[in-house]
Amino acid sequence: MTDLAGKNNLQVYPLSECALTIEFRKSIDDAIVTRVNAFDRLLNKKGMPGMYQTVPAYASLTVFFDPLILLNSSLPGKTGFDKARNYLLELNEEIGLSLELEGSSLITIPVCYGGEFGGDLEYVAAYTKLNNEAVIKLHSEAVYKVCMIGFIPGFAYLGGLSPALEIPRKGTPVKVAPGAVGIAGSQTGIYPLETPGGWQIIGRTPVCLFDAKRSQPSLLKTGDRVKFEPITFSEFEKYSGG
């Protein structure tokens, strides 16, 4: 049984003069991802003097702040870092045992697998000793969790890939199209922008993952659950057109 609520597995370290990271554990674990998100939600609800943004990751939460505001606050501690650390360790005590996330939604993302959109599907099938159909089935029947957003705007690292589909990333990144769906290691993800990428590309979604003009520019956020729905090429074209 893991000591999820205890503070003994929390490490707090400075990332810069304006940011500190709370490290929960050094491994990927569904319970830790949930805990990072619960802490993130609580912190954003309660606030912290001078705090302006948090970045949740697999097993850590980074808090960005203005040290000047923090230093002038009445929190205990001599430096901005100490004040923030003391406050966050205290907040950690407040997280209940009920870590279920409110408001995390299930988002279905249509994907056209294989063909010109999924140039690495055959390679993945050969590597995993499956056929194309089995790869698509395994990839699209799982429910994934957004563990982290990073790398480029709106890029979601999705955990929950079938172990049968685990595959190393490419040696050299190649140019990928916006909406390309890739797998690497035990993760899957979707490239929101045209960028060099090293993941094995098995399909493409017509859905726009990131749009700076939207009030919530990234379609996915940490803690969301995601499912892929296979679509045909003509459905893809219809979707893109309207």
Partner 1 sequence: MKIRIKKAGLMATIQDLGRHYYLSQGVPVSGVMDSLSAQIANLSLGNAPNDAVIEFTQSGASFVTEDDVLLCLSGAGACLKTEAGILPSNCPLFVPAGTNLYLENAPPGCRSYLAIAGGWAAPEVLGSKSTYVTGRFGGLDGRCLKDNDILNSSGNLTATTMVIWDSLKGGAINHPKWSVGRALFLPDARNTIRVMRGREFNWFDGPSTSSFFSQEYTLGHNSNRMGYQLKGKPIHRVFEGELLSTAVTPGTIQVTNNGDLVLLMADCQTTGGYPRIAQVAAVDLPLCAQLKPGDPINFKEISWKEAEKLYIERELDLRKLALAIKQRYNVE
Smaller CB separation from partner 1, 113 or 157 = 157
Question: Do residues 162 and 138 touch, judged by C-beta distance below 8 A?
Answer: yes
* Residue in the structure block whose two tokens are 């870092």: 81
Smaller CB separation from partner 1, 8 or 27 = 27
Smaller CB separation from partner 1, 82 or 235 = 82
Binding site for partner 1 (CB under 8 A): 13-19, 21, 23, 26-28, 52-60, 62, 64, 67-68, 71, 79-81, 148-155, 157, 193, 195, 210, 212-213, 216-218, 221-222
Least separation, in Å, of the C-beta of 125 and partner 1? Answer: 27
Least separation, in Å, of the C-beta of 133 and partner 1? Answer: 32
Smaller CB separation from partner 1, 56 or 110 = 56
Least separation, in Å, of the C-beta of 6 and partner 1? Answer: 20
Beta-strand (E) ranges in the chain?
Answer: 11-16, 19-23, 51-56, 60-65, 106-113, 144-149, 156-159, 174-176, 180-184, 187-190, 195-197, 200-204, 225-230
Smaller CB separation from partner 1, 27 or 98 = 27
Residue 40: which of 68, 59, 66, 18 has the closest Cα? Answer: 59
* Residue in the structure block whose two tokens are 């994907």: 111
Least separation, in Å, of the C-beta of 210 and partner 1? Answer: 8
Least separation, in Å, of the C-beta of 161 and partner 1? Answer: 16
218 Cβ contact partners less than 8 Å away, ≥ 6 residues apart: 149, 153, 154, 156, 192, 209, 210
